[in-house]
Amino acid sequence: MAAEPSAIGAAVDPAARPEFERLLGALGEALRDELAALRSRDVAALEAAVQTKAGLIAALEQATGKYCHPGKALPLEWSEVRRMAQACAEANRVNGGAIELNRGMVARLVEITQGGRLGPATYTAHGRLNRRDASRGVGYA
């Protein structure tokens, strides 16, 4: 049985809306900074963005516990808060993909510097590169 919109709205303190919007806006900005740092390979900027992101996620978790009752949804009227949360989730998925791409590239470069073959790469069923017996220690022919 679906809950009435007013009953759902009662599950979240209306005073939470400005705080959620502020935190989600700041999280969106931190995610944009994180992606920019990943693209430019700026380690210091990446560390700062990740630290900011972690702090904002912790603040959102604290705000959720403070204002929301377990098992209850956000009020239907909070479409902007929902949109912001979905945009942050999507940006985080994109950033995760960029991190995996960079991780794979670094692993490939390390493999090449260790004398690994630069042949075609194959992928496992999990979407990871199959690297069995592809490298040798430095100084070995």
- Position 94 in a domain: yes
Within a domain: 136: no
Residue 4 falls inside a structural domain:
no
Q: Is the pLDDT of residue 129 over 60?
A: yes
Q: Determine the structural domain holding residue 85 and report its residue range.
A: 12-130
**Partners of 12 in the beta sheet?**
68
- Identify the pLDDT of residue 5: 44
Q: Report the distance separating Cα 77 and Cα 8, nearest Å.
A: 10
In a domain, 2, yes or no: no
- Residue 7's beta-bridge partner residues? none
Q: What is the pTM for the complete model shown?
A: 0.68
Number of compact structural domains in the chain:
1
Q: Is residue 121 part of a domain?
A: yes
State how far the Cα of 53 lies from the Cα of 33, in Å rounded to an integer: 10
> pLDDT for 16-72, tens place per residue?
889 999 999 999 999 999 999 999 989 999 999 999 999 999 999 888 877 776 666
Cβ-contact 38, 71 below 8 angstroms: no
